[in-house]
Amino acid sequence: MAVPSLREDPMLNIAIVAGSSRSNSQTSKVARFMRQSLINQHQLDADQVSVIDLGSYPLPLWPAEDVGPWGMFEKQLAKADAVIILAPEWHGMACPAIKNFFLYAQRCEHQDGTDTFNATNSVCRQPN
């Protein structure tokens, strides 16, 4: 089965995660560039492509009582049909901000018992 182009699926929503903990990082610049490229080249609406910037909106270290901006991130992820992860390397490892992000995503469950990433079908998504 052929994979549809972005133009053929006008309801496609994409979340881009900029995984650096630094504000105005190279990773966030790449995320914003990718967002604008998707909007321009594939004629997507601006509200169809969101950027989750962990440098501008850092999550508290897991586990924390105050989940910070996680509620906003969870809404973006739940709306997304696809998730793009930009994970900078720090001395051969993923940076702490992206690891922390995945801890929040793994632990967060919806009322129906599904987790955030399974609810968006973004991990190991198989074409129908």
Q: Which domains does the chain have, with CATH numbers?
A: 10-119 (3.40.50.360)
| The pLDDT of residue 123 is above 50 | no
Residue environment code for 62-98, b if the CB has 16+ CB neighbours within 10 A, otherwise e: eeeeebebbeebbebbbebeebbbbbbeeeeeebebb
pLDDT band (50, 70, 90) for residue 46: very high
- Judge whether 62 and 104 are in contact, CB under 8 Å: yes
- Judge whether 30 and 86 are in contact, CB under 8 Å: yes
Q: What local confidence, expressed as pLDDT, does residue 91 receive?
A: 86
d(CA 124, CA 18): 20
More confident residue, 60 or 5: 60
- Judge whether 53 and 28 are in contact, CB under 8 Å: yes
Q: What local confidence, expressed as pLDDT, does residue 6 receive?
A: 58
